[in-house]
Amino acid sequence: MKFGVVVFPGSNCDADCLHAIQTVTGQPAEYIWHKSGSVDGFDCIVLPGGFSYGDYLRCGAVARFSPVMTPVIEFAQRGGLVMGICNGFQVLTEAGLLPGALHRNKNLQFLCHDTYLRVENNTTPYTCLAAEGQVIKVPIAHGEGNYFADPETLRQLEENKQVLFRYCDPQGEITPAANPNGSLNNIAGICNQQGNVLGMMPHPERCAEAVLGNTDGQLIFQSLLDFWQRRCG
Amino acid sequence: MFQAKIYVTLRKSVLDPQGGVVRKSLFALGYQNVPEVRIGRYMVVDLEVAHREEAEKQVKDMCDKLLVNPVIEDYTFELVEV
């Protein structure tokens, strides 16, 4: 399984993602420069965190028109695995690959701390190794992670079980106090209706090694590999 | 040549945390008659276009494609010949 990590000008979690993927999955991973016109040969594309194009205009709004996004969008529409973390999630919503939008945190602060997430759907490529309702600890680091969607979109997301991660307390309870940024329904991560495109604000690549004191993020990369190996028989 | 003055604001249904803080601050300054403040973005875009209709069409296109995110934002604009 070959991973590609897209590098936009201003991406700053690209090296962490590449390292985490290689370390956790043992699979090959390469950078893909934002001017690349092709994603041929890759099985999973990761849009990393950071501040693509300086977050000018809106987070992800300019990156969405990078040359590499044309093949990334085609790849996703063909069912290819595309995962956006933090700024990558913002790019995916701007590109229309995921519904809704991410705007300023409710308290206007840049938030950089651990959060607890409850896995809400363990039947996707990104969560297939999770136990039902498993709680994982994953850090966030963002100023604009406040998930918004209109009521009808929100209803569809819930109905289709597209909410994969919700901010919760350490016991797994979904409470207003556990919601760091004002996201509707405590949403921390969603997938598209087909389940092949994931967007999440928390950073699994920052907690995927014992040396960092937390390995909960491994779940997502290991799930992806497991999904892929089962699919390829 | 035309100049477009584009005003982008968060849609009514979207919480505007900046606007809320500014409203509270105004309240503290004695302006207790301000029920709401909405913070937005103001853009000035020059267009080398001869006709008003063409300029209007281009500005709408620009807003729909890039300048505005319709999920959370609304916009209005004025066109001035310069």
Q: How far apart are CA A136 and CA A170, in angstroms?
A: 8
Chain B residues touching A94 at Cβ < 8 A: 69
Q: How far apart are CA A169 and CA A137, in angstroms?
A: 10
Q: How far apart are CA A137 and CA A181, in angstroms?
A: 16
**Nearest residue in B to A62, CA atom:** B66
Closest CB to B17: pick one of A62, A101, A106.
A106
> What is the domain extent for residue B59?
2-81
Q: B15, A58: Cβ pair inside 8 Å?
A: no
At A128, which CATH number?
A: 3.40.50.880
DSSP-H helix ranges across chain A: 14-25, 69-77, 87-94, 151-159, 218-231
| Active site members of A | 86, 203, 205
Give the total number of structural domains in chain B.
1
Q: Which two tokens stand for residue B29?
A: 């300054």
> Tokens 């590609």 map to which residue?
A4
Q: How far apart are CA A62 and CA A56, in angstroms?
A: 7
| Side chain identity, residue B14 | V
Q: What is the pLDDT along chain A (233 residues), one digit of tens a residue?
A: 999 999 999 999 999 999 999 999 999 999 999 999 999 999 999 999 999 999 999 999 999 999 999 999 999 999 999 999 999 999 999 999 999 999 999 999 999 999 999 999 999 999 999 999 999 999 999 999 999 999 999 999 999 999 999 999 999 999 999 999 999 999 999 999 999 999 999 999 999 999 999 999 999 999 999 999 998 86
Largest Cα separation within chain A, whole Å, is: 48
Q: How far apart are CA A32 and CA A54, in angstroms?
A: 19
At B70, which CATH number?
A: 3.30.1280.10
Closest CB to B15: pick one of A62, A93, A106.
A106
Do residues A126 and A84 make contact, with C-beta atoms less than 8 angstroms apart?
Answer: no
Q: B15, A182: Cβ pair inside 8 Å?
A: yes
> What is the domain extent for residue A118?
3-231
Give the total number of structural domains in chain A.
1
How, if at all, do strands A44-47 and A135-142 pair? unpaired
Closest CB to A101: pick one of B15, B21, B71.
B71
**ipTM confidence score:** 0.86
